[in-house]
Amino acid sequence: MIEFDRILDKIGHLGKYQIILCLLVYWLGVPAGLHNIASVFYAAEVPFRCYVPPLDNTSAYPSLTEQQLYNYTTPYYDGEYESCYRYGYNTSTCIPPSTSCVNQSYPAIACDAGYFFDTSEFTSTVNSEWNLVCDRKILGTMATSIYFAGMWTGAVVSGNLADYIGRKNTMLACAVGNLISGVATAFTPWFELFVVLRFFSAAFSHGAFLIMFVYVVEITGNKRTISGVHVHTAFSVGYTLNSLIAYFLRDWRQFYFVLSLTPIPYFIIHFFIPSSPRWHFSNGRDEMGKKVSERFAKGNGKVITEKDWTNAVVAENDEDVSER
C-alpha cells in the first residue's frame, strides 16, 4: 500500500498548490456559516400585539397612532405590554370614527383575530407569516431543534458517503442538495414543509463543511493543523455575510433565497480541484492516486521519481505501526 505522507515529504505538505486548493474549497464553509445563524434574521423577534378590528382598519380609523392602538388594545403590566392578550371588550360595537367602544377595565383575553407585527425593521419574518408567537412560539423552538438534528444527520451520512464515493464527489452532492433545499425553503407555502427543508439544508450544508475539512487535512499531511484551523475562517465569513444580506433584504423569503445561492460558486471550483490522493490509496486505487499525486507535484514544481514511489510502498502491518 502506498503511504501518501511519504509522497508529501517529497512534494511538500503545504506547497502553493495545496494552499490554492484549500482557499478554493474553503468556500463550502460559507453556506454552512450562513445557514447556521440565519434564524437570527429570518425568525427575528419583532414587536407585536393582537390585531383588533376595526381599530386596526386604517380606513376606518386613519388618525390613530400606533401608540394609541397599543393603549386601546393591549394590557400593560409590570413595565411592559402583554402582547399575547387584548382588552376583552366587544369590538363589534366600535363605530368609526368613535373610540367609545374602548373599555380598558375589561379583563384581558387571548388574541382572537390574529396578530399585528411591527414591520419597521423587518417587513416579513417566519414568525409574522405563520404567527409563531404566544402559544405557537414552541413551534419555532421545535424548528431549531430539527435543524440541529439535520446537522447531526448530515455529519453521519456525508462521512459514510465520502468513504464510498470520495471526498470530491460528496462535496459536490452536498452543494447541489444545499442549493435545492435552500431555494425551495424560500418559496415554501407551509410551515411544516419549511421545517423539513431546513432539516435538509442543515444536513447538506454541514455535510459539505465536514467533508471539506476532511479533504484539506488529507492533502496537507503534517500541516493539517494549519489547514484545519483556517476552515473556520470561511465559516466566520458566512456569519458575517448574514448581517450584510439582512441589511439590504428585510423580507425573510428574499433573504433566504439569496443566502441559498451561495453554493453556486463551488460548482465552478469543483472542476479545478483534484480528488484526494489519500482516499484513492486507502481504497486500493493506486493508479488513480498516482495520477492525482503527479498533479500535486507539478503544482508545487516537484517531480516524483520511481524511487519515491518504491519508498512510499509499505506493508499493511508497517502502516499500522506508523499510525500508532
Q: What is the CATH number of the domain that holds 220?
A: 1.20.1250.20
18-32, 40-54, 99-113, 248-262: range with lowest mean pLDDT: 99-113
Residues 55 and 38 in one domain: no
Rounded Cα gap, residues 41 and 174, in angstroms: 24
Q: Does 126 fall in a domain?
A: no
Q: Does 178 fall in a domain?
A: yes
Residues 31 and 171 in one domain: yes
Looking at residue 95, its pLDDT comes to 81
pLDDT at 29 over 80: yes
pLDDT at 260 over 90: yes
Rounded Cα gap, residues 62 and 55, in angstroms: 9
Residues 196-242 have pLDDT tens digits of 999 999 999 999 999 999 999 999 988 989 999 998 899 999 999 99
Band of pLDDT at residue 287, cut at 50, 70 and 90: very high
Averaged pLDDT of the chain: 90
pLDDT at 323 over 60: no
Band of pLDDT at residue 318, cut at 50, 70 and 90: low
Residues 14 and 39 in one domain: yes
* Last residue within a domain, chosen from 60, 90, 118: 118
319 by Cβ neighbours in 10 Å (0-12 / 13-18 / 19+) ranks as middle
Rounded Cα gap, residues 115 and 167, in angstroms: 48
What average pLDDT does the segment 22-51 reach? 93
Q: Does 127 fall in a domain?
A: no
Rounded Cα gap, residues 240 and 262, in angstroms: 13
Helix (H) or strand (E) holding 297: helix 286-299
Q: Does 131 fall in a domain?
A: no
**Which residues 6+ apart lie within 8 Å of 180 measured at CB?**
none
Say how many domains are in the chain.
2
Residues 46-73 have pLDDT tens digits of 999 999 988 888 888 888 888 989 988 8
Residues 316 and 249 in one domain: yes
Residues 145 and 24 in one domain: yes
What average pLDDT does the segment 5-33 reach? 92
Q: Does 275 fall in a domain?
A: yes
Cis peptide before 107 (omega within 30 of 0): no
Residues 201 and 278 in one domain: yes
Looking at residue 316, its pLDDT comes to 55
Band of pLDDT at residue 184, cut at 50, 70 and 90: very high
3-state DSSP assignment of residue 242: helix
Place of cell 492533502: 219
Place of cell 433565497: 257
Residues 143 and 228 in one domain: yes
Rounded Cα gap, residues 16 and 102, in angstroms: 74
Residues 147 and 234 in one domain: yes
The more confident residue out of 104 and 322 is: 104
Residues 15 and 152 in one domain: yes
Q: Is the alpha carbon torsion for 216, 222, 228, 229 positive or negative?
A: negative
Phi then psi for 125, rounded to 5 degrees?
-135, 170
Residues 95 and 205 in one domain: no
**Which residues 6+ apart lie within 8 Å of 112 measured at CB?**
50, 86
Place of cell 411592559: 80
Q: Does 37 fall in a domain?
A: yes
Separation of first and last alpha carbons in the chain:
17
Residue 108 is part of which domain span? Answer: 48-118
Rounded Cα gap, residues 274 and 22, in angstroms: 11
Looking at residue 310, its pLDDT comes to 86
Q: Does 151 fall in a domain?
A: yes
Q: Does 130 fall in a domain?
A: no
Q: Is the alpha carbon torsion for 213, 268, 23, 151 positive or negative?
A: negative
DSSP structure class, residue 107: P
Percent of the residues in the chain that have a pLDDT greater than 70, as a whole number: 97
- pTM given for the model: 0.87
* Last residue within a domain, chosen from 118, 148, 176: 118
Residues 291 and 204 in one domain: yes
Rounded Cα gap, residues 157 and 155, in angstroms: 6
Judge whether 167 and 218 are in contact, CB under 8 Å.
yes
3-state DSSP assignment of residue 268: helix
Residues 61 and 203 in one domain: no
Looking at residue 63, its pLDDT comes to 83
Residues 112-162 have pLDDT tens digits of 889 999 999 999 999 999 999 999 999 999 999 999 999 999 999 999 999
